[in-house]
Structure 1
C-alpha cells in the first residue's frame, strides 16, 4: 500500500532497476528515454543549482540550432550522465515529476543506466578502474611500511604532478592510509554486554567498517565502540566484508556490484540471524544497503532482510533515545558546531538525527549546512571534474568559514575534508568523535 501525504497526495516511490534486461542496454531505447526526460527537465529547470549535469544539459539545448532537445546531438547525451554522481538530491528534493506522477522521472537512475551502457560498450579507463577498486588499493596501501611510503608520496609535489598526468588532480585531497586498520583496532575493544531491545532495535549491532573507515579513518572505529558501549549496546565488527559496491555503481559496472553483493550479503545476513542490527560509519555505504541494492535486486529476500536491519548510526542512537535508553550523562560541552549534512544521508529520509543527538549535549549549538560538497568520492579527485567539484562545494564552504564554529563536522569524511580545505578551517571531525568527547571518554 502506498503511503499518503497530507491532502491525499501519494508520497514518491522508487521503481526497481531492471538492469538485467537486454532492453536496459539498448542504446537506441536509452536515447529515446533520455530525450523524453531531458525535454521535461528543459521545461522545468528546477535542478539547475544542483550538480553540473543540469547546466551541461541546458547549455547543450540553449546552444543548439533549435534551442530544444531535438537540436542536441544524441552523442552528447552522455556528457550529461558523466556529470552525475548519483547523489539523488534531484529526485528527493527538487523534481515534481517523480513516481507516482504519470511522467515517472527518475533522473539519477536514468543516469545510472547511461553509465552502465557506456561501461558495457567501452569499459573504463585504468584510472577509473583503480579508483573504484577500493579493496585492492586499500589492501596494498595499508601493508606496514608501505602505508608510510604511500602517504609520503601523496604529499610530494613532484609525485602529484605525475599523478595528474594519470588523471588525478594535483590539488585534490587524497586519503591517508594506516596499516593499523579499523578492523585491527577494534577487535580488542569488544566486550560482552547484555543487549536490551528497545523501540525496534535489538541492542546489539554489527559494524560494517567500509573501505574508507577500515583503511583511511581507522581511529573512528574506536569512537564507535566507546560510544555504543557507553550506551550498553553490544558492538562487533562484521565477520568479513568487501566494498559495498558504491564506487563500481557510480562507474556503471553493475556486474561488479553484483559480485560485491554476493560476498557481503551472506556475511551481513549471518549477523542479522544472530540478532544483530547493522550500522556503518559512512552514509554512502548505509544507503547502498538500505536503498540501492534492494532496487537492483528486488527479488532477493536476503537483500531485503539486510535492508530492514541496516541503520544510520545516529538514527540508531536516536531510536534508543526515544525509548529512554540513551545515556545522556554528558560531561563535556561541545560549543558551536558547523555541521555539513551529507547528500547520501539526506536522501535516507530519516531527518537530521546527528544534529538532534548532538544538541542533547549541554551548551552545544549545531548549525546544519544542507548543500552538496561536490566531492562524491572520486568526482573531486579526477582532473576533468575537480574544478567543478570545487565550484559546487564553495557555497557550503563559505557558510562553514563564516560560521567560525568551534568544530566543523560531517558524517562523510571525504566531503568533510573537501569542504575544510575550501573553507580553510581546521581538520574536520566526525560527529561520533564529538559524541565520544562529550561523554569524556
Structure 2
C-alpha cells in the first residue's frame, strides 16, 4: 500500500445521533487501531502534547505495544488534545480517502462525546461552555467581572481552587455593552467605495460580542470605508466550547437555530462573516458534518467567509479603497482554526495589500486550545507548546504582531513575557492593522 494519499482530504459526517457512535467497545478498538498507526508513523511528534504522551506511553509499556495501554493511558492522550486539527490538516498522510481512514481529532471528539453522555464532563468545562449566559451576566457587572479575572486579583486563587482555572492564565475582559447592541454606531457604507452594493452580516460570535470588540469595530470600519453595508448579528454562540466537551446534540441544535436566523439575510444578499476563526470553522465545516442533510446549514456554510478571506475576496473582485504606504514589519500568527479552513493564509494575503508592509507568517500552534489552556493541569503545557510560535513571531523584531485567533494573541503575548522576552502591548487581529493603515 502506498504511503499517504494523492486525493484531497475529506471528512465523514459525525454520526452523533447513532447509538453505535457511543459503543465503548468499538471506541476502544478504534482508539487502539488509530494509535497503533500513529505510533508507527510519529510525524506529529512536535504538534502538541497528545502525540508525545502517546509515544512515551507506548515506549514505556511492557511490550512497547498499543495493546498494553490501559484505559487511563488512552484517556490521558485524549485529554491532551486541543482539537486544533493540525494533525489532520497538515501532517497526517493517512486521512480519508486513504484506506487507513484516520481522523485523529474527530476520534478524540467521539471519546469526549461518550464521556459527556455518561455525565463525566467536568463542572468547570460545562459552566465555561455556557458562553451566552456568562457573557450576559458579566457585561451587566463588567467592572466586578474584570476585577475578578485579572491575574493579580485575589479571586484568582479561589477560581483555581474551585474551578481549576490556573491563576497565572490570562482571562479575557468583558465589555460594558455587547457588540450586537451597537448597530446604531455602524457607519453607513461609503458610496464611493469600490464594494458599494455589497452587504455583510457580521456574526459577532460570543467572544467578539461580550469580550474583545476591537476586531469587530475595525472590521466594521474597513468594510464600510470600502462601501460595504454592515449589520451586526448575534443569534447565539456557535457552540465551539460545547463541541470541545463532546456535547454534540447541543451544538447541532445551535447550528439549526443560527442557520435559521441567517437564512433570510442570505436571501437578501448578505454574506455572513464571523469575527472569530473558530466560529467560521464551525459554520463552514463542523456544522455540515453534524447535520449533513440540513439545507439551511449547508447554505450558511456556502455563504460564510472568514474576515481576512472576505477582504481578500473584495480586493480581487471589486478592488479596495487606496491604502497609504506603510513601511512596517508585521508578525502574523496563522491560527490553527484559520488554517483548518483550508483556504490558505488569508491574513498574510490581506496584509500584503498594504503598500510597503512586510508581513511574515508564523504557522505554529499557540498552544492555548480554546478553554483548554487556562486550566491548571494544562497551563504549563500550553506555554511550552506556544514557545516556538512566540519565538518565531518575534524573531525579526516586527513593528506589529497579530493573530487571527483572539485567544492565541493574548496567550502568545503572555508566553513572550513568561520567557523573559519583550512583548507588544497587544497582539490583536490582522483586520486591526488594515483599519490602522486606512487611518481609521
Contact 1:182 1:209 in 2 (8 A): yes
Which one of the candidate residues 265, 273, 276 is aligned to 2:259?
265
Unaligned ranges ≥5, structure 1 = 1-7
Shift in Å, 1:86: 1.0
Task: Give the distance between the partners of 2:198 and 2:194, measured in 1 at CA.
Answer: 5
Deviations 1:202-221 (A, max 9, x none): 82110000011011112332
Contact 2:208 2:216 in 1 (8 A): yes
Shift in Å, 1:401: 3.1
Q: 2:331 aligned with 1:335, yes or no?
A: no
The 10-residue stretch of structure 1 (21-30 or 77-86) with the greater mean CA deviation from structure 2:
77-86
Which one of the candidate residues 285, 291, 294 is aligned to 2:279?
285
Shift in Å, 1:72: 0.9
Q: CA separation of 1:47/1:202 partners in 2, compared to 1, >3 Å: closer, same or farther?
A: farther
Task: Give the distance between the partners of 1:153 and 1:74, measured in 2 at CA.
Answer: 38
Deviations 1:306-352 (A, max 9, x none): 0000001111121121224222x112515111110100001111111
- Structural mapping, 1:240-279, within 5 Å: 240-279=234-273
- Tell me the residue number matched to 1:399: 392
- Structural mapping, 1:301-340, within 5 Å: 301-327=295-321, 329-331=322-324, 333=326, 335-340=328-333
- Tell me the residue number matched to 1:415: 408
Contact 1:97 1:104 in 2 (8 A): yes
- Structural mapping, 1:166-177, within 5 Å: 166=162, 167-177=164-174
Q: 2:294 aligned with 1:295, yes or no?
A: no
- Tell me the residue number matched to 2:220: 225
- Tell me the residue number matched to 1:436: 435
Q: CA separation of 1:193/1:330 partners in 2, compared to 1, >3 Å: closer, same or farther?
A: closer
Contact 1:64 1:72 in 2 (8 A): yes
Task: Give the distance between the partners of 2:261 and 2:341, measured in 1 at CA.
Answer: 23
Shift in Å, 1:192: 5.7
- Tell me the residue number matched to 2:85: 88
Runs of 4+ in 1 over 6 A off after TM superposition: 193-198
Shift in Å, 1:262: 2.7
Which one of the candidate residues 341, 353, 365 is aligned to 2:346?
353
Contact 2:190 2:226 in 1 (8 A): no
Which one of the candidate residues 40, 43, 46 is aligned to 2:43?
46
Contact 1:373 1:419 in 2 (8 A): yes
Contact 2:197 2:229 in 1 (8 A): no
Contact 2:186 2:230 in 1 (8 A): no
- Tell me the residue number matched to 2:420: none
- Tell me the residue number matched to 1:158: 154
The 10-residue stretch of structure 1 (370-379 or 150-159) with the greater mean CA deviation from structure 2:
150-159
- Tell me the residue number matched to 1:5: none
Deviations 1:137-194 (A, max 9, x none): 1110001xx1011111222442111111120001000000011221223432152677
What is the SS of the residue equivalent to 1:57? helix
Task: Give the distance between the partners of 1:77 and 1:197, measured in 2 at CA.
Answer: 55
What is the SS of the residue equivalent to 2:359? strand
Shift in Å, 1:431: 1.1
Task: Give the distance between the partners of 1:188 and 1:360, measured in 2 at CA.
Answer: 27
- Tell me the residue number matched to 2:184: 187
- Tell me the residue number matched to 2:94: 97
What is the SS of the residue equivalent to 2:374? coil
Q: CA separation of 1:195/1:137 partners in 2, compared to 1, >3 Å: closer, same or farther?
A: farther
Contact 1:332 1:437 in 2 (8 A): no
The 10-residue stretch of structure 1 (35-44 or 265-274) with the greater mean CA deviation from structure 2:
265-274
Q: 2:19 aligned with 1:26, yes or no?
A: no
The 10-residue stretch of structure 1 (393-402 or 130-139) with the greater mean CA deviation from structure 2:
393-402
What is the SS of the residue equivalent to 2:45? coil
Task: Give the distance between the partners of 1:89 and 1:188, measured in 2 at CA.
Answer: 38
Task: Give the distance between the partners of 2:103 and 2:120, measured in 1 at CA.
Answer: 24
* Matched length: 428
- TM-score, scaled to structure 2: 0.93
Task: Give the distance between the partners of 1:99 and 1:404, measured in 2 at CA.
Answer: 40
RMSD value over aligned CA atoms? 1.9
Q: CA separation of 1:30/1:196 partners in 2, compared to 1, >3 Å: closer, same or farther?
A: farther
- Tell me the residue number matched to 2:365: 372
- TM-score, scaled to structure 1: 0.93
Shift in Å, 1:74: 3.1
Task: Give the distance between the partners of 1:348 and 1:422, measured in 2 at CA.
Answer: 26
- Tell me the residue number matched to 1:59: 56
What is the SS of the residue equivalent to 1:118? helix
Unaligned ranges ≥5, structure 2 = 418-422
